[in-house]
């Protein structure tokens, strides 16, 4: 059973690992860098964390994984939260006294969404891979109508795009025909406007969105699975993203870092 934050904080105090005794002085901020698409959730956790202490403040910065790695390695951030596999340890291994530690803190599903008018309801991972790489140009190639495929996506360095590129394309690029947008919200606004549209967004962004969510199959013989919270938690959904927190294990802030990471894990970061 997961402990709550009050229990964690009390445990630290009992052990004599209070904030001021760990090098974390009053008024000093715990600096957290998060990929942009979960930064609002991390910020909410940070406010809850700070509310239980008179000393701790948490400052959350949202951005891209490469910028987060640079900030962590340079000591500008105490914690980096990003999808699994998006931290290149070679970028920080040369940092003086840096010893990388990490922990999973949550997960989310990357949903493939299309126009609500499109009569296609499921795809295999191979079909999704080929679709976003530009291998399909018309929905008739996927059992749909004779309509051109219009692809919407995020910036190349956005966490969602990096995940799609590393998970599906193994480092290759998406088709240059993709229409690049800055936010999931913008993708969800554009998709209904185009009869042959397709895009990718976090599954928990879908409430009240006027889009169709594609059920995904690992292969042609597998069942089609929707990206609902249960399927993400049990990892039956093929595009399940694991969120990880990374920090310097040599930092004198490690006790407070671990307490914050534990609270993120309790909150199932990414599913809310």
Residues 129 and 36 in one domain: no
Q: What is the pLDDT of residue 96?
A: 67
Tally of domains within the chain: 2
Residues 138 and 163 in one domain: yes
Asked if residue 86 lies in contact with residue 65, where contact means CB atoms within 8 angstroms, the answer is yes
Tell me what percent of the chain is helix, strand and coil, each rounded to the nearest 5: 35, 25, 40
In a domain, 272, yes or no: no
Residue 80: in which H helix or E strand, if any?
A: strand 79-83
Give residue 252's domain range.
5-107+241-266
What lies within 8 Å, CB to CB, of 14 at 6+ separation is none
Residues 172 and 59 in one domain: no
CATH number assigned to the domain comprising residue 155: 3.40.190.10
Residues 201 and 178 in one domain: yes
Residues 95 and 123 in one domain: no
Strand partners, 152: 179, 199
Residues 126 and 35 in one domain: no
Q: What is the pLDDT of residue 98?
A: 85
Ranges of residues in the chain with a pLDDT under 50 are 1-24
Q: What is the pLDDT of residue 271?
A: 76
Q: What is the pLDDT of residue 93?
A: 60
Q: What is the pLDDT of residue 263?
A: 95
Q: What is the pLDDT of residue 157?
A: 82
Strand partners, 246: 80, 102
Q: What is the pLDDT of residue 5?
A: 39
Residues 162 and 174 in one domain: yes
Strand partners, 215: 122
Torsion sign (Cα): 114, 136, 227, 41: negative
Rg (CA), the chain: 20
Q: What is the pLDDT of residue 27?
A: 55
Strand pairing category for 79-83 and 29-35: parallel
Residues 102 and 131 in one domain: no
Model pTM score: 0.78
Tell me the C-alpha distance between 136 and 131, whole Å.
5
Q: What is the pLDDT of residue 1?
A: 40
Q: What is the pLDDT of residue 6?
A: 40
């Amino acid at each position: 059973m997961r402990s709550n934050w009050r229990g964690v904080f009390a445990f630290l105090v009992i052990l004599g690992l209070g904030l001021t005794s760990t090098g974390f002085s009053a008024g000093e901020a715990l600096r957290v860098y998060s990929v942009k698409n979960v930064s609002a959730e991390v910020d909410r956790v940070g406010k809850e964390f700070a509310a239980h202490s008179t000393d701790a403040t948490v400052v959350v910065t949202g951005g891209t994984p490469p910028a987060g790695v640079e900030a962590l390695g340079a000591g500008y951030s105490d914690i980096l939260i990003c999808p699994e596999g998006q931290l290149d340890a070679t970028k920080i291994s040369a940092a003086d006294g840096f010893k990388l530690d990490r922990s999973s803190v949550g997960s989310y599903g990357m949903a493939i969404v299309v126009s609500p008018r499109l009569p296609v309801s499921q795809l295999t991972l191979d079909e999704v891979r080929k679709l976003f790489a530009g291998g399909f140009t018309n929905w008739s190639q996927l059992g749909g109508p004779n309509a051109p495929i219009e692809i919407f996506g995020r910036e190349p360095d956005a966490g969602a795009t990096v995940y799609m590129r590393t998970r599906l394309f193994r480092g290759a690029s998406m088709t240059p025909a993709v229409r690049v947008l800055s936010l999931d919200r913008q993708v969800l606004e554009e998709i209904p406007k185009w009869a042959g549209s397709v895009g990718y967004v976090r599954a928990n962004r879908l409430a009240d969105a006027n889009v169709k969510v594609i059920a995904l199959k690992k292969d042609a013989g597998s069942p089609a699975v929707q990206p609902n919270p249960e399927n993400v938690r049990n990892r039956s959904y093929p595009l399940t993203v694991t969120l990880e927190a990374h920090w310097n294990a040599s930092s004198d802030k490690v006790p407070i870092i671990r307490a914050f990471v534990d609270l993120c894990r309790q909150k199932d970061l990414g599913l809310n």
